[in-house]
Amino acid sequence: MNLIKWIDLPCILDERGALVPIEGGITIPFDIRRVYFLHGVMRGGARGFHAHFTLHQLMVCIGGSCRVLLDNGRDRSEVILDRADRGLLIPNMVWHEMYDFSDNTVLLLLASEHYSESDYIRDYDQFRDISRAK
Ligand code: TYD
């Protein structure tokens, strides 16, 4: 099963450069309650390594590149993020890992909920057991 779901983002191009608007509930299939970004990831560094019970996210690589592994407890897919004009959907109950960051990579995350540590599953075996029980 291919877990990779892209959302093509509108890109308004003119002689001054590009503008990419993202509107909650319109461009992406959820309202946006939180925005955060990852930057300054050290060479060889990795992020993620968790899933969420309820959170939906869109991940956009607005500079540089990295690889992302998605895992639903049964299938795994890997993808390269290197474009600012499309986002990768990370639904709830999908384990995700980000790695192979190039220098100066910036990952923008649009999230459907406020931050809640209790929504995280940080243990892979627990995640696999929960997802396979469904
Ligand atoms: P985490 O989600 O584990 O980061 P990553 O997925 O990039 O590896 O979060 C790292 C730390 O930051 C953790 O202590 C929780 C905190 N945090 C917040 O306080 N607010 C947020 O919106 C996020 C995403 C994380």
The three-class DSSP label of residue 94 is coil
**Ligand 1 centroid – CA 117 distance (Å):** 8
Q: 16 C-alpha to center of ligand 1: Å?
A: 34
CA distance 87 to 61: 7
Instruction: Compute, in angstroms, the gap from residue 13 CA to the centroid of ligand 1.
Output: 33
91 pLDDT band (50/70/90 cuts)? very high
User: Could you tell me the pTM of the whole model?
Assistant: 0.96
Residues 98-111 have a mean pLDDT of 97
86-90 vs 57-63, strand pairing mode? antiparallel
Closest CA to 115 of 60, 50, 46: 50
pLDDT exceeds cutoff 90 at 1: no
**For residue range 21-50, what is the model confidence (pLDDT) as tens digits?**
999 999 999 999 999 999 999 989 999 999
Please indicate whether residue 39 is annotated as part of the active site: no
Between CA 8 and CA 112 the distance in angstroms is: 18
pLDDT band at 82 (very low <50, low <70, confident <90, very high): very high
Q: Which residue in 39, 50, 56, 114 is the catalytic one?
A: 50
Grade residue 75 by pLDDT with cuts at 50, 70 and 90. Answer: very high
Share of the chain above pLDDT 70, in %: 100
Average pLDDT of the chain is 97
Statement: residue 2 has pLDDT above 90:
no
Residue 134 has a pLDDT of 78
Q: What is the mean pLDDT of residues 103-122?
A: 98
Ligand 1 atom having least distance to the Cα of 46: 8
Question: Which atom number of ligand 1 is nearest to the Cα of residue 50?
Answer: 6
DSSP 41-93: PPTT--EEEEEESS--EEEEEEES-EEEEEE-SS-EEEEEE--TTEEEEE-TT
User: In 3-state terms, what secondary structure has residue 13?
Assistant: strand
